[in-house]
Amino acid sequence: MRQQVFFENWGAIPYQEARARQQAILDEMVALKRQNTSESIRHRIIVCSHPPVFTIGKSGSMDHLLISQEQADNEQIEVYKTNRGGDITYHGPGQLVVYPILDLDQLFTDVHRYIRSLEEVIIRLLADYGLEGNRLSAYTGVWLEPKAGDWRKICAIGVHLSRWVTMHGLAFNIATDLRYFDKIIPCGISEEGKGVTSLERELQHPVPRQEVIDKLIKHFEKVFEVSINYGAEN
């Protein structure tokens, strides 16, 4: 039988609150595993958005924040260091943030495959809109092929695992205000010809957020070979 993954929509939620809620779920799942009661573990996939925030992963550098803390405070942009992989990124309104909290012991114990699978979900989602998503061997995330010479990143990925339980996840730009990315070196990538984009910029028209969520969940089910259970939706 396929593993069930419970869907939760946390709506617009401050980053630190979402991180604390994720951590509490992960800690509960890890505790159950230590008690050898993993059969009662509930996988989750959480969707949400955050007020403007820059988050800096374990391999990140404050040097990649191009404004001062005072400027960030004045512009009401929060700045946090976090325990996910990767460097600095931006979260804000118009972005779809997805936090899968999965016990990979019950799916597959392969971090590389997990990240590639998250990328595959987004690649298939983009195909629904006639866009070709790509992987770049040197970087995680999903990119669109060069336009006017630049690769454009549309989805960032950063994860954390504890005893094969995942947290954090991906951030997909639907209608994100891309000007915020000018205040950082996104994902620490300063290489010429690497930029950031959004679904609405590429399509040149608005896209319903719920439509994107529905498509993402459909592809998540297929790629991860799981069944989504909406019983836990908030």
Q: What's the CATH code of the domain at 151?
A: 3.30.930.10
DSSP-derived letter for residue 224 is: H
Which amino acid, residue 17?
Answer: E
233 pLDDT above the threshold of 70: no
pLDDT at 218: 98
Which of 47, 144, 184, 187 is catalytic? The answer is 187
Judge if pTM exceeds 0.75: yes
Give 176-223 pLDDT, tens digit per residue: 999 999 999 988 888 888 899 999 999 999 999 999 999 999 999 999
Q: What pLDDT is attached to residue 138?
A: 86
The upper half-sphere exposure of residue 6, i.e. CA atoms within 13 Å in the direction of its Cβ, equals: 13
CA–CA distance, 170 with 96 (Å, rounded to integer): 8
Quote the CA–CA distance of 60 and 126 in Å, as a whole number: 28
Tell me, what DSSP letter sits at residue 98?
E
Domain, as residue range, for 147: 4-232
Residue 232 has pLDDT above 80, yes or no: no
pLDDT tens digits, residue range 118-129? 999 999 999 999
Residue 231 CA to residue 50 CA, distance in Å, equals 24
What is the model's pLDDT at position 231?
79
Structure confidence by residue, pLDDT tens digits, 56-99: 998 888 899 999 999 999 999 999 999 999 899 999 999 999 99
User: Who wins on pLDDT, 20 or 145?
Assistant: 20
pLDDT single digits (tens) 129-149: 999 999 998 899 999 988 777
Determine the pLDDT at residue 183. 95
Which tens digit of pLDDT belongs to each residue from 87-115?
A: 999 999 999 999 999 999 999 999 999 99
Active-site residue, 187 included: yes
**Tally of structural domains, the chain:** 1
- Given a cut of 50, whether residue 234 has pLDDT beyond it is no
> What CA–CA distance (Å, rounded) separates 137 from 118?
15
- What is the biggest distance separating any 2 CA atoms in the chain, rounded to whole angstroms? 55
On the question of pLDDT at 38 being above 80, the answer is no
